[in-house]
Structure 1
């Protein structure tokens, strides 16, 4: 196969379409979260903590797809604003379990509402069955790539 046979128009590439959709989604999310003074990683951190309170910074970093160093900055910023709490010293080991404060839960609720508008706009042209299929297809893609790299992490 020649190189010309392998290459296809960029607008027919699934990878390009995913990257374009991802970039536009991120931009829309940033715009929706800006009035709430949150970034996408901060929102993701609050959402993961709502679902799994008590996670350490390392666990949160893996769940939110950022480095531990970046997560430490996210956590410090959210803690300084009173949106989450961490004990001053770990109960055991080195991990500081993190939990949302009432103000953090309130900000998360507002952010979730703002982002549901973005998601509904993004999926408006799809039927409910097409939405389910898209979600399943994206999960399959992630699994295939995770299997290849040997991890589910970025």
Structure 2
């Protein structure tokens, strides 16, 4: 009979305490909960806020550029767009230069909602920045950017 395979519990503790991926995932979930709670009165999630903000551009972006900015695959982005489109917050149209491509834009209702929730985001973000001292915000942001 073969010996059962096991991983020592100490290894689990080591991974818990040193794994960058786990730490970033945990922090991302905690941050998402904070922003979701702040945006809940407007029936908006932090992901939807980021998506709306990513469409706030001088000219309507295509799906690929938004997916790249948000680090999402195109299928996931397409699914995320649907509720916002149903709410009349965004429009998705065929790109006049390339019929295979789609361009997305904020509607007036989307721009109005974005302008209403932006002060809430600023307040929430400011409180989070207040938890970080001595340049930690910039260090964290710069460190995360290196991983992209």
Query: TM bucket by the smaller chain?
Result: 0.7 to 0.9
1:69 lines up with 2:68 in the alignment: no
Higher relative strand content: 2
Does residue 19 of the first structure (1) align with residue 31 of the second (2)?
Answer: no
Dislocated runs of 4+, deviation >6 Å: none
Superposed, 1:33-48 pairs within 5 Å as 33-48=39-54
- How far apart, CA to CA, are the structure 1 residues paired with 2:134 and 2:79? 38
CA distance in 1, matches of 2:36, 2:58: 24
- TM-score, L = length of structure 1: 0.72
Aligned-residue offset at 1:116:
2.1
- Which residue in the other structure is 2:122 paired with? 116
CA RMSD of aligned residues (A): 2.6
Q: 1:53 to 1:30 in 2, by over 3 A?
A: farther
How many residues are treated as equivalent by the alignment? 138
Q: Following TM superposition, by how much is the alpha carbon of 1:138 offset from its aligned partner in structure 2, in angstroms?
A: 2.1
Three-state SS of the structure 2 residue aligned to 1:73 is helix
**Partners of 1:19 and 1:92 in 2: CA distance:** 39
8 Å CA contact 1:53, 1:98 repeated in 2: no
Task: Find the counterpart in structure 2 of residue 92 from structure 1.
Answer: 97
For the residue of structure 2 that corresponds to 1:103, the secondary structure is helix
Deviation at 1:28, TM superposition (A): 1.0
Match of 1:146 in 2: none
Mind listing any 5+ residue stretches in structure 1 that lack a counterpart? 144-154
- CA drift at 1:35: 1.4
- What TM-score, normalized by structure 2, do the two folds share? 0.75
Q: What's 1:135 paired with?
A: 141
Q: Deviations over 1:1-28 (max 9, x none)?
A: xx869x7373x42624333221110111
Match of 2:35 in 1: 29
Q: 1:77-106, CA deviations, whole angstroms, 9 ceiling, x for partnerless residues? A: 22222212233x431321121111221112
Q: Rg bigger for which structure?
A: 2
